[in-house]
Structure 1
Amino acid sequence: MLYSIWMVSALCATALSAPTLTFSSDAAARPVEMKVLSEYFQMLGSKVQEGKKMAQAPVCNMNNAVMPVASPKPLPPPTAGLVLKHVAIGRGTQNYSCGANQTAAPVALGALATLYNASCVASTYPTLLAMLPNVALQFNLTTTNQATLSPSNLAISGHHYFSNASTPTFNLDTPSLDLGFAPCSKNASVSAPAGAPVGQDNKGNGAVAWLKLLTIDGATGGLEEIYRVNTAGGNPPATCAGMPATFEVQYAAEYWFYES
């Protein structure tokens, strides 16, 4: 009985807390948003019911976590010998610029996102994890440093930004965790699978690509390889027509961190 109580409490704390991001305006008039959230909470409810029947609480064993594989073309797998260290949901913006040529494609300027600790979700509730990027995208991003990720209540585990025009960087050293620092270079990229969430209310321009990144000089904590998968939103319009000189596109994704 004690384990069942723990299980239900843990799930509720993970996914039923009050939202910390502002729900997008006119939500009641947006059936896509409501469908996404309804499916999420239905899934959550089924996990709570399953938890009541478990003899003991699940263990957050990272060996049980399985990274999603893109289809039809997968990313290269993690290098043999590396082990999974951390899984996070990234929620933030992809950033772009436009010049005077209105027919040109926007130029990527990098990204800015807060990372939220999803390691236990990845190891115990993979179906819930897969839904989180799209669910998180249904809540407006008011800052890039929300204390917890709505509606899952995942705590901050780091930050993602570009230290220069070509160096994606991940800082996983926080007051509660000390997981490492990782400047990276891109190793491989594949398009997001068909059906990936394109943006809020399905009115975006598509999900950004899935990536494999390799750490470069300056990395700490044994971090070697980082994957961006299960992306939601983030792509810019095809051309700069009507766009400002710089602009942001909201996105969310899973980030998987491997160490030596």
Structure 2
Amino acid sequence: MFCKLWVASALCAVALSAPTITIPSGAALPAEVKALSDYFNLLATKVQAGKSMAAAPVCDLSKASLPTASPTALPPPSAGLALKHVAIGRGIQNYTCSTTNASAIPAAIGAVATLFNASCVAATNPDVFALLPGVALGMNLTSDDQTTLAPANLAISGHHYFSNLTTPLFNLDTTAMQLGVAPCAKNNSVSAPTNAIKGQANQGNGAVAWLKLTARDGTTGNLEEVYRVNTAGGNPPATCAGMPAAFEVQYAAEYWFYEKP
């Protein structure tokens, strides 16, 4: 997959018009503020450097590199697979709790997220891309029908949800692109790095694990494997003390989709 990275914007598919941004009232955590500051400082540097380029670079996904910097590395993509799409996921992790046992551990019951197309950013500006989950977590989506992710104005490329308690599903079929649908099973899991952004205010319990997922029967678009990496937020409290029977925790992450060509 290829697209042009226009010099004036420094990011493919990113417009420098003023997006509608909502910063949560409790988002002024040092890590979130730093992520936002680092993002805009780095973006300004990229734009300035782009002004001296003779031509716009080409977005080639073969140049994108899946992150592996976790306490224990996830297994690499299987031989013969090619990177098809990269997205920033912004959504919620869902949990249930016992209301009669304060020491019980919250139980995960799936997640819901909107996926935003970040393929060109991952391929051409990996340093900017690495900041996006932390930046995205510091921004609330302004409405259910929001079509871009601020501040990068990344367009929606799909949705993530669970079709049942054990099947995470990724739907990458939109009006703009038909990339496939993948119900998945967990193949491997490792803890997020200790320096990962822990979460929004009052939900700073840590970043959810990094995952390798494999496609199940019913997958379309030749999708084979999905990675969730560079996570920010999403973990529940350690126990159910003071928690309702059901609750959600905000999170963001990178999602990498691999296909069999």
Instruction: State the partner residue of 1:109.
Output: 109
Contact preservation (8 Å) 1:141, 1:250: no
Q: Could you list the per-position Cα deviations for residues 6-46 of structure 1 after superposition, in whole angstroms to 9, with x for gaps in the alignment?
A: 4113539626443444211266x655443321111000000
Instruction: State the partner residue of 1:173.
Output: 173
Aligned: 1:60 with 2:35: no
Classify 1:38/1:12 alpha carbon distance in 2 versus 1 (closer, same or farther; 3 Å). Answer: farther
Instruction: State the partner residue of 2:252.
Output: 252
Equivalences, count: 255
> 1:203 Cα shift?
5.5
Aligned partners of 1:185, 1:12: CA distance in 2, in Å?
32
Aligned: 1:186 with 2:186: yes
- Identify which range, 148-157 or 64-73, moves more after superposition: 64-73
Q: Could you list the per-position Cα deviations for residues 34-68 of structure 1 after superposition, in whole angstroms to 9, with x for gaps in the alignment?
A: 33211110000000011111121110101110010
Classify 1:26/1:17 alpha carbon distance in 2 versus 1 (closer, same or farther; 3 Å). Answer: farther
Contact preservation (8 Å) 1:88, 1:157: yes
Instruction: State the partner residue of 1:69.
Output: 68
Aligned partners of 2:132, 2:221: CA distance in 1, in Å?
26
Amino acid at match of 1:186: K
> 1:103 Cα shift?
0.6
TM score, norm. by length of structure 2? 0.92
Instruction: State the partner residue of 1:125.
Output: 125
- Superposition RMSD in Å: 2.0
Aligned: 1:224 with 2:227: no
- Identify which range, 141-150 or 216-225, moves more after superposition: 141-150
3-state DSSP of counterpart to 2:25: coil
Q: Mapping of 1:125-164 within 5 angstroms?
A: 125-143=125-143, 145-164=145-164
3-state DSSP of counterpart to 1:214: strand
Aligned partners of 2:116, 2:88: CA distance in 1, in Å?
5
- Identify which range, 186-195 or 11-20, moves more after superposition: 11-20
> 1:202 Cα shift?
8.6
3-state DSSP of counterpart to 1:14: coil
Classify 1:33/1:17 alpha carbon distance in 2 versus 1 (closer, same or farther; 3 Å). Answer: farther
- Identify which range, 16-25 or 124-133, moves more after superposition: 16-25
Classify 1:203/1:183 alpha carbon distance in 2 versus 1 (closer, same or farther; 3 Å). Answer: closer
Contact preservation (8 Å) 1:65, 1:124: yes
- Greater fraction of residues in helix: 1
Q: Could you list the per-position Cα deviations for residues 103-159 of structure 1 after superposition, in whole angstroms to 9, with x for gaps in the alignment?
A: 101000100000000000011000011000000001124555531011110000000
Structure 1 residues without counterparts, runs of 5 or longer: none
